[in-house]
């Protein structure tokens, strides 16, 4: 079984989280979205542009490739630092 990686990822302002039709994206509910540490943005992914993006109901802050999204998730804005005692 192969896993299909989404074609498009986007950061969205947190205020739009309740307006997302989760049946059109890779996340299944508001409980499964990845939110930044400041609780100001979240990430969605899709293979076919959702209607709420196409019609401008929700406007992404930025769109990303899979590689760019992975890189973003590794930044200090999205991932908490690992305590030093866990590294040793």
Identify the band that residue 87 occupies on the pLDDT scale cut at 50, 70 and 90. low
* Residue-averaged pLDDT of the chain: 91
Q: Kindly report the pTM of this predicted structure.
A: 0.85
Residue bearing the bigger pLDDT, 83 or 88:
83
What integer pLDDT is reported at residue 5 of this predicted model? 72
Within-domain flag for 86: no
What integer pLDDT is reported at residue 86 of this predicted model? 59
Number of structural domains found in the chain: 1
Q: Which two tokens stand for residue 45?
A: 């992914």
Within-domain flag for 46: yes
Q: What is the pLDDT of residues 8-22, one digit of tens each?
A: 999 999 999 999 999
For residue 21, what are the contacts with CB-CB under 8 A and spacing of at least 6?
A: 50, 51, 52
Q: Which two tokens stand for residue 65?
A: 């490739």
Within-domain flag for 55: yes
Within-domain flag for 3: no
Q: What is the rounded distance in angstroms from the CA atom of residue 59 to the CA atom of residue 20? A: 11
Q: What is the pLDDT of residues 42-77, one digit of tens each?
A: 999 999 999 999 999 999 999 999 999 999 999 999
Q: How many CB atoms lie within 10 A of CB 20?
A: 21
Within-domain flag for 87: no
Domain housing 67: 8-81
């Amino acid at each position: 079984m192969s896993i299909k990686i989404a074609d498009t990822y986007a950061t969205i302002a947190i205020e739009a989280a309740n307006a997302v039709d989760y049946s059109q994206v890779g996340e299944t509910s508001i409980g499964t979205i990845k939110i930044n540490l400041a609780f100001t943005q979240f990430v969605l992914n899709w293979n076919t542009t959702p209607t709420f993006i196409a019609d401008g109901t929700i406007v992404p802050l930025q769109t990303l490739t899979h590689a760019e999204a992975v890189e973003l998730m590794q930044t200090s804005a999205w991932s908490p630092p690992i305590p030093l005692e866990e590294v040793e």
